[in-house]
Amino acid sequence: MNDLSAKSQQKPYFIEIAFDRDGQRIDNFLVSQLKGVPKSHIYRILRKGEVRVNKGRVKADYRLKAGDLVRIPPIRQTEKSIGHPGDNLLEQIDRSIIFEDKKLLAINKPPGIAVHGGSGISFGVIEALRVLRPEVPYFELVHRLDRDTSGCLLVAKKRSTLRQLHELFRTDQLQKHYLALVRGPWKEGKRKVDAPLQKNVLKSGERMVEVHPEGKEAVSYFEPVESYQSACLMRIILKTGRTHQIRVHAAHIGHPIAGDQKYGDPSFNRQMRALGLNRLFLHAAYLSFALPEIGEISLTAPLSEELNQVLQKLKSR
């Protein structure tokens, strides 16, 4: 299991921390997982030692590490049961599956769908998969994609597979390529962007990420695929996986991503919206890795018809 249902939890269970949760405070992690549970109760179970990490007690400011095993105690949640994912979401996820075996499942995640419920979203990919595959006892996200980002998303069906894939991420043995349409023109070839990133929370509660010398290491490689009059289609390869890394790095070097409402250029976004772009043009297009007993796996997630049409309109200008 990945997060709690809205019903009462009758017994403790365990969550293994994903690679991209590394560094998150345990209290913030629990808030995101325990929907409907008051923060005061979350801090109470932490103080009483009912939440354990690797079988030991931790304080609220403990920073999680990839691979940590978090014990969640029995909790009665206040949130009412809200049923199950709707047919439309289930159909979208079912159509989006691009690979599946006994250990692993991959989808070409549609934009606008969260990887899991929380933060005001009732259902996401994980909840839909549990309905679509009720016979599978274990689903865990290997990595994450922002809600507005589409493309390759890996979900482990076994804990051993999750650990193997986390190790591939940690040791840079997993190739992950994105496609993004950025404000142009681009006047150089392949470019390395090495700019540390730091998370901030505004007074409004909105989470923002910025380039900051005291932030965490973040490295991206930008390579032009096709240039247009006012934009450029880029291939982006990540060497680290920080929150909003591509979006912030693109804006930092003066080439914000089309459709980015948080870090982008409003004028450029309006131009692209006139061409039919109504979403963030960021897509996880390719994943390649090797696993024992499975071998080499290469996954390609094609661009949606909407994004392809935008590119065709740019070509015809």
Per residue of the chain (317 residues), what is the pLDDT tens digit?
Answer: 444 443 445 678 788 887 767 888 998 888 877 866 788 888 889 999 999 999 999 999 999 998 899 998 887 654 434 456 788 889 999 999 999 999 999 999 999 888 876 555 567 888 888 888 888 888 888 888 988 999 999 999 988 888 899 889 888 888 899 999 999 889 889 999 999 999 886 766 677 899 999 999 999 999 999 999 899 999 999 988 888 999 999 999 999 999 999 999 999 999 999 999 999 999 999 999 998 877 899 999 999 999 999 999 999 87
- Tell me the one-letter amino acid at 307: L
Does 175-315 match 87-170 at the fold level?
yes
Q: Decide if 239 contacts 219 (C-beta within 8 A).
A: yes
Q: Name the pairing type of β-strands 150-156 and 282-291.
A: parallel
Q: What pLDDT is attached to residue 116?
A: 72
Q: Does domain 175-315 have CATH number 3.40.50.2300?
A: no
Report the 10 Å Cβ neighbour count for 244: 20
For the annotated catalytic residues, the residue numbers are: 146
Closest CA to 314 of 147, 223, 168, 185: 185
Nearest Cα to Cα of residue 109 among 284, 256, 264, 234: 284
Amino acid at 203: K
**Tokens encoding 74:** 């029995």
Q: Distance between CA 299 and CA 105 in Å, rounded? A: 11
Instruction: Give CATH for domain 13-72.
Output: 3.10.290.10
Where exactly are the structural domains of the chain? 13-72, 87-170, 175-315
Question: What is the predicted pLDDT for the residue at 117?
Answer: 64
Residue 117 near residue 127, CB atoms below 8 Å: yes
The CATH number of domain 87-170, selected from 3.30.2350.10, 3.40.50.720, 3.90.870.10, 3.30.530.20: 3.30.2350.10
